[in-house]
């Protein structure tokens, strides 16, 4: 079933949507400021990607953030009342987590990430776009392990795929901060641009990608994301189950601070 932009433009309180020349632009936010990773985002972001994919007027996607951060902080108040450290409570995380990243991969239109600032919470999401550009203020980090959690909600798939198995494991286990210049050197980021050029450049790239004839863009997207989608089908649920089992066995608590200091003083960055 197809839908139109008017059906979902105001549906998601954490996303500002705008479309020009077939380019659907999604700016993630929390009350107009940089997005806090909250319960509604976790629950509904996959639905947003599904809606974008059901709209035939969308020819390419630009995903960006708002303010000085892409996503770097939690919204703890939004999670109050959710007993995620019980087997029944973690079902919510498992169910929504399986859909979150796969819905993004299932989009059949070219995708461009315009990362506007630090992406230290679910930084793997914008890095899954076909073309990734970022400002000089961007850093990446995954804090699952150093915060006492198993990095099993897709981080265990995406980061080793991007960094390689050894460096990917080290990145996840040490909580290293990855500077954008190093990320570009490692092939995670296509271009680093000035802040004022970020969206301009993202739109230029998206327009170029959307200009492919016929079904070339859609079939290229499917082809080039196939290996990652296969990895998600094989390992995403497994990782989420292990993350939940660890959370239910003992409350999350930070790993020794020495690990964080070691990452800050060397690590991947």
The answer to whether residue 231 is domain-embedded is yes
User: At residue 269, does pLDDT exceed 80?
Assistant: no
Q: How far apart are CA 205 and CA 201, in angstroms?
A: 6
The answer to whether residue 51 is domain-embedded is yes
Between 69 and 268, the more confident residue is 69
pLDDT at 253: 55
- Digit-coded pLDDT (tens) for 95-125: 888 898 999 999 999 999 999 999 999 999 9
Distances (CA, A) of 249 to 40, 150, 177, 242, 246: 26, 12, 28, 11, 5
Between 108 and 241, the more confident residue is 108
The answer to whether residue 180 is domain-embedded is yes
For residue 255, name the pLDDT band (cuts at 50, 70, 90): low
The answer to whether residue 70 is domain-embedded is yes
pLDDT at 265: 41
Q: Phi/psi zone of residue 26: left (φ > 0), alpha (ψ -120 to 50 degrees), beta?
A: beta
The answer to whether residue 228 is domain-embedded is yes
Q: What is the mean pLDDT of the chain?
A: 91
The answer to whether residue 150 is domain-embedded is yes
Q: How far apart are CA 69 and CA 141, in angstroms?
A: 13
The answer to whether residue 269 is domain-embedded is no
CATH of the domain at 124: 3.90.226.10
- Digit-coded pLDDT (tens) for 211-237: 999 999 999 999 999 999 999 999 999
Q: How many domains does the chain have?
A: 1
The answer to whether residue 69 is domain-embedded is yes
Residue 160 is part of which domain span?
Answer: 5-264
The residues annotated as belonging to the active site are 124
pLDDT at 260: 43
pLDDT at 75: 93
């Amino acid at each position: 079933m197809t839908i139109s932009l008017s059906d979902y433009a105001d549906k998601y309180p954490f996303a500002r949507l705008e479309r020009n020349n077939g380019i659907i632009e999604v700016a993630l936010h929390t009350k107009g400021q940089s997005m806090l990773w909250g319960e509604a985002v976790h629950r509904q972001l996959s639905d947003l990607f599904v809606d974008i994919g059901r709209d035939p007027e969308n020819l390419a996607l630009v995903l960006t953030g708002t303010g000085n951060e892409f996503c770097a902080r939690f919204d703890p108040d939004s999670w109050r009342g959710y007993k995620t450290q019980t087997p029944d409570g973690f079902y919510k995380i498992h169910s929504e987590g399986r859909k979150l990243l796969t819905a993004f991969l299932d989009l059949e239109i070219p995708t461009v990430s315009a990362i506007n600032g630090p992406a230290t919470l679910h930084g793997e999401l914008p890095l899954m776009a076909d073309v990734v550009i970022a400002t000089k203020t961007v850093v990446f980090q995954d804090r699952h392990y150093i915060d006492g959690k198993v990095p099993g909600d897709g981080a265990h798939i995406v980061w080793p795929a991007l960094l390689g198995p050894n460096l990917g494991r080290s990145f996840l286990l040490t909580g290293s901060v990855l500077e954008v210049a190093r990320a570009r050197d490692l092939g995670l980021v296509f271009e680093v641009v000035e802040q004022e050029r970020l969206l301009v450049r993202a739109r230029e790239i998206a327009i170029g990608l959307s200009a492919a004839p016929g079904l070339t863009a859609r079939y290229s997207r499917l082809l080039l994301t196939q290996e990652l989608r296969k990895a998600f089908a094989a390992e995403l649920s497994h990782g989420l189950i292990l993350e939940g089992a660890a959370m239910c066995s003992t409350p999350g608590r930070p790993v020794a601070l020495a690990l964080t200091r070691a990452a800050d003083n060397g690590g991947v960055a």
